[in-house]
Structure 1
Amino acid sequence: MTLYQFNSESKLDSWAILDDVVMGGRSDGHLKINEDGHGEFYGQISLENNGGFSSVRHYFETLDSSNFSTFSIRLKGDGKTYQFRVKNSRNNRHSYIYKFATSGDWQTIKILFKDMYASFRGYRLDIPNFEGNKMEEIAFLIGNKKKESFKLLVDYISLE
């Protein structure tokens, strides 16, 4: 089941950037559809004012995901480490997180729901990992505790 497929006709209305500026930081992330029709999450991470992260989030109606166990994501990164995140409810303050490294080439990463741990503001929470029964938000985040530019291309995000 496809959660989101980027292409040249994609509308980005259900996607939003959330940077460290919400806490006074100076990072600057963007999302666009590039000339090849891929989603391109890019920008600069700044450590000024205790900053250090940028994220892009996709919001959708509550999805019953109880028949699935895995995210499958086709992407091309810049060799940096990113996080993929999911929320089972937009009202939760915490997200479930999986960190992955990119290779600089196109790759398909598989993320088992059960491998996604709960975290809030960088702190791992002592609650069970993602059960995967429902979801309302997915996100990519970069926050490697260093000043850097970044670029992550995404083709699709699906459930298996």
Structure 2
Amino acid sequence: MMKYFLILLTLNLSTKSDMKKVYTFSTQTHLKEWRIVNDGVMGGISKSSLLLTDAGHGQFSGHVSLANNGGFASIQLSTMIQLAEEKNFIVLRVKGDGKRYEFRLKGEISQYESYVHPFATSGEWENLKLAISEFYPQFRGRKLNIPNFNFNSIEQLSFLIANKQEEDFGLLIDWIGLE
């Protein structure tokens, strides 16, 4: 019996993650930390909002319109996250609507490019693990011919939807972590 207990204990310890949450939504979250940036910056008319649910999750939702050369909605958070060498993944705890989104990083707030990792949602709560080395540089929807994300810190996080179609959307966000 003790042998089986030790095996289970070993398996349990070896599967523990060293994931560190870097942002958690809660009923105490100050939504003014986040900035809404939609295609209105280039003449579009897409609308989005970020609200807190009763359970304390961030709810990024709205309508993407293709009118007036539009087509995207996003929320951004300026932050300062130091990246330790052993942290190789961004982990998102989200519940989407079956649509595709992008999670974006900036290593420096002043850089014009964002580093992008697309992700699909299933309609259920899920932990999505995105390799930091796979975040590719993009500016105004165009992939750039420069190296993928290779900074020592993150100064901006953002969620964006831009599926080249007119659509309503909704993404619940619980937390963002590093692993």
TM-score bracket, normalised by the shorter chain, equals over 0.9
After the TM superposition, which parts of structure 1 deviate over 3 Å for at least 4 consecutive aligned residues? none
Amino acid at match of 1:148: E
How far did residue 66 of structure 1 move? 3.3
- Which residue of 2 is the match for residue 58 of structure 1? 77
Q: What is the number of equivalent residue pairs in this alignment?
A: 159
Considering only CA atoms, is the larger Rg found in Structure 1 or Structure 2? Answer: 2
Instruction: Report the structure, 1 or 2, having the larger strand content.
Output: 1
Q: 1: distance between equivalents of 2:82 and 2:153?
A: 5
The answer as to whether partners of 1:21 and 1:27 remain within 8 angstroms in 2 is yes
Partner residue in 2 for 1:135: 154
**Counterpart Cα distance in 1 of 2:55 and 2:136:** 33
RMSD, matched Cα = 0.9
- The TM-score normalised by the length of structure 1 is 0.97
1:103 and 1:64 map into 2 onto residues whose CA distance is 30
Contact 1:66/1:132 (<8 A) preserved: no
* Secondary structure, aligned partner of 1:66: coil
Q: SS in structure 1 opposite 2:31?
A: coil
Question: Hey, which of these two has a bigger chunk of helix by percent?
Answer: 2
Matched, 1:97 2:104: no
Report the alpha carbon displacement of residue 132 of structure 1 after superposing the two structures with TM. Answer: 4.1
Aligned to 1:73: 92
User: 1:88 corresponds to which residue?
Assistant: 107
Equivalence for 2:25:
6
2:172 match? 153
**Counterpart-to-counterpart distance in 2, 1:112 and 1:134:** 15
Matched AA of 1:65: L
CA distance in 2, matches of 1:84, 1:70: 12
Pairwise CA distance, 1:129: 0.6
> 1-side partners of 2:151 and 2:83: how far apart?
6
Q: 2:65: which partner in 1?
A: 46
Contact kept, 8 Å, 2:22 with 2:81, in 1: the verdict is no
Q: Percent identity among equivalent residues?
A: 43
Q: Which amino acid aligns with 1:129?
A: N
How far 1:13 moved relative to its partner? 2.2
Residue identity opposite 2:82 in structure 1: D
- CA displacement, residues 13-68 of structure 1 (integer Å, 9 cap, x when unaligned): 210100000000000010010111100000000111000000001111x3221332
For structure 2, list consecutive stretches of 5 or more residues without a partner in the other structure.
Answer: 1-19
Per the normalisation by structure 2, the TM-score is: 0.86
